[in-house]
Amino acid sequence: MTTVKSLKLHKNDQSEVIDILLHGSKGGMNYSLMQKIFDECIKQGHSVANFNFPYFERGDESSSGDGLIEELDTLKFVLNKCNANDYKHIRLIGKSLGGIVASYYLKSLTINEQSKYSVVVFGYIKGYTNLKFFKGDIYIIQGEKDNYGNIEVVKNDLKDAISKNINYFEIEGADHSYKNELKEPIFEDEAMEVFKKLEV
């Protein structure tokens, strides 16, 4: 049975939107970028959930494997725990691996079920993030020097996507984790400035 040891939920009873945050492979829910996203979602008046995937809680080096079965089960558990379907809109916000998990989940939904969702990906990984079959709004925030590819690589990967609203943003000078060449996360705030302006 899936359980989540670390789940931070901010509930706004007036909100029609819930944001579900999915962390990257190395950082966890307390990673600085995830904390900044969480705080911004609250400022926007949304309900928001932040949590750790089980592999991260166990201290494992990597996720559960190609199918991401454990991560998908955990996401479903969190959506249920937060009564996400009671909201008018569900926004999945994923960093790197989190974006991959979000894409797998969205692909599993019917076209009709997808209509409640949008997705924001911080650091798209070509070959693994699969949003071609998602019809909702997609927002990609990519570092210019991302080792998985810059924004042109992402655009090419999504050229056959069925979504009618894909928005691409590139952070100049940033790597996959919005760091500079000295591995300082100096571009996180720039990525957040983009995030703040996204439509929901």
d(CA 177, CA 12): 30
d(CA 59, CA 55): 6
pLDDT at 66: 79
Considering the domain boundaries, does residue 34 fall inside one?
yes
The answer to whether the CB of 73 falls within 8 A of the CB of 81 is no
Question: Which of 153, 164, 83, 87 shows the shortest CA–CA distance to 123?
Answer: 153
List of residues 6+ apart from 64 with CB closer than 8 A: 54, 55, 70, 71
Please give the average per-residue pLDDT across 16-22, as a whole number.
98
Q: What is the CATH number of the domain that holds 138?
A: 3.40.50.1820
**pLDDT averaged over every residue in the chain:** 96
Considering the domain boundaries, does residue 2 fall inside one?
no
d(CA 76, CA 88): 17
SS3 109: coil
Considering the domain boundaries, does residue 60 fall inside one?
yes
pLDDT for residue 1 is more than 70:
no
Considering the domain boundaries, does residue 1 fall inside one?
no
- Sheet containing strand 89-95, edge to edge, reads 7-10, 47-51, 17-22, 89-95, 117-122, 137-143, 166-171
In tens, the pLDDT along 105-118 reads 999 999 999 999 99
Considering the domain boundaries, does residue 52 fall inside one?
yes
Please give the average per-residue pLDDT across 137-160, as a whole number.
98
SS3 158: coil
Considering the domain boundaries, does residue 98 fall inside one?
yes
d(CA 97, CA 134): 17
The answer to whether the CB of 140 falls within 8 A of the CB of 121 is yes
121 alpha carbon, distance to own chain's centre: 5
- In this structure, the strands spanning 89-95 and 47-51 are unpaired
Question: Which of 9, 20, 6, 17 shows the shortest CA–CA distance to 72?
Answer: 20
pTM: 0.97
Task: Supply the range of the domain harboring residue 80.
Answer: 7-196
pLDDT for residue 124 is more than 90:
yes
- Name the domain count of the chain: 1
> Which amino acid is present at 122?
F
The answer to whether the CB of 41 falls within 8 A of the CB of 13 is no
